[in-house]
Amino acid sequence: MKTFKLDYFLGNKRFVGFVAQPKELKANTPVVMIAHMWSGRVEFVDKKAMDMAQKGYIGFAIDVYGEGKIGQSINENTQLMQAFVDDRKLLQDHMQAAFDAIKSIENADSDKVVAMGYCFGGLCVQDLVRINTQVKGMISVHGLMLAADNIDRGKFKAKVLLLNGADDPMVSEGHWQKLRQELDYAQCDWQKHDFGGVMHAFTNPFANDKTMGTVYNKTADKRSTKLISDFIVECFL
């Protein structure tokens, strides 16, 4: 496996992504781009990119914030994320810049891209497919579900997989129903899996804060891993 950092730009703003390529890289290799949680592009998502390379895809962990910014506390993470929750056009522009950067990756097939995101990253990939019809599939893993105030209805041409903890305090029924209305209006191929008794951040082994609602769940993590793998295969058929 080959790994390296990839600088890409939106205007004068620099972003620092992480690319993992399979050992036997072939021309026109499909890409799984991965959007990070509220802390920034940390080791967790880089490892997910490497997992994808082991499956034969190019894994691309993107830098949503820019300049490789990583929060060092809950307050800093909140501030970093909130700027993009408050300005969805900015978030969409940053996501499109990451998608465009795929063309600069050797042997990457920009026509075969699945976008996957965790927590805040789940919202990020939702916004990408709201504006981008080229993405083949979108996976939101315990992702936020917040309607985009700058878009009446997203395009949503990609296949959609939503993996959600049924007891996630950060995803209300109202938020989900608004997203469902968008998905149904777009008539896209979507599926949602709720894991009973499971809270937010269930794939993160270091999540263990019941007060905040972020708790790792080994069973849900294992089940979601299989669902993700099968879904990606289907998207690239």
Condensed to tens digits (0 to 9), the pLDDT of residues 173-223 reads: 999 999 999 999 999 999 999 999 999 999 999 999 999 999 999 999 999
2-235: CATH topology is Rossmann fold (3.40.50)
If you search the block for the tokens 């609602």, which residue do you land on? 213
For range 30-49, the mean pLDDT? 98
- Let me know how long the chain is: 237
Which sign does the torsion angle of CA 179, 114, 4, 206 carry? positive
Pairing of strands 13-21, 58-61: antiparallel
- pLDDT tens per residue, range 117-128: 999 999 999 999
Residues 80, 87: Cα–Cα separation, whole Å = 12
Instruction: Give the domain ranges of the chain.
Output: 2-235
How crowded is the C-beta side of 115, counted as CA atoms within 13 Å? 35
Residue recorded with tokens 């506390």: 73
Encoding tokens for residue 108?
């990457």
How far, in Å, CA of 173 to CA of 201, rounded?
Answer: 18
At residue 161 the predicted structure's pLDDT band, cuts being 50, 70 and 90, is very high
Residue type present at position 76: E
Closest Cα to residue 40, out of 9, 15, 12, 13? Answer: 15
pTM over 0.85: yes
CA 230, CA 228: separation in Å to the nearest integer? 6
With contact defined as beta carbons under 8 Å apart, do 80 and 94 qualify? no
User: What's the Cα-to-Cα distance from 132 to each of 10, 116, 126, 140, rounded to whole Å?
Assistant: 17, 14, 10, 16
Mean pLDDT, residues 1-16 taken together: 97
Residue with tokens 């994320």: 81
Which backbone phi and psi does 172 adopt, to 5 degrees?
-85, 160
- Tokens standing for residue 120: 């805040």
Above pLDDT 70, what percent of the chain?
100
